[in-house]
Amino acid sequence: MDQVTCNLSNDSSKKRLMEDTQDWQPRTGTTQSRSFRMLAQLTGTEFMQDPDDENLKRSREKFLTEIKSPRYARLRDWHHERSARSLNI
């Protein structure tokens, strides 16, 4: 009876090992690995759509504009000063 229990646990661990190994196999462009799907479920992003090019372009332009702003420069300088002070540089 003990040998039967051992074989069953071996089979389940082999099955889990095979599933984990398959999970890391290279995938084609549209399929996702099981771990990626699990992560999407955990973060609530499994049904998110890819952003369209126009929104992506607008977002990037806004980001680049904000980087050049005086407000950004003040914040950057404050952060560098604060970091240097806390690191005693």
Q: Are residues 2 and 20 in the same domain?
A: yes
Q: What's the burial of 33, exposed, middle or buried (CB within 10 Å: 0-12/13-18/19+)?
A: middle
Are 44 and 60 in the same domain?
no
Please report which confidence band the pLDDT of residue 35 belongs to, taking 50, 70 and 90 as the band edges.
confident
pTM greater than 0.75 (yes/no): no
Q: How confident is the model at residue 13 (pLDDT cuts 50, 70, 90)?
A: confident
How far is the C-alpha of 36 from the C-alpha of 29, rounded, in Å?
Answer: 13
Question: In terms of residue numbers, what domain contains 39?
Answer: 1-24+32-48
Check pLDDT > 60 for residue 53.
yes
One domain for residues 80 and 60: yes
CA–CA gap between residue 27 and residue 30 (Å, rounded): 8
The pLDDT value recorded for residue 82 is 93
Q: How many domains does the chain have?
A: 2
Are 77 and 83 in contact, with CB atoms under 8 Å apart?
Answer: no
Element (DSSP H or E) covering residue 52: none
Give CA–CA dist 9/2, Å, rounded. 11
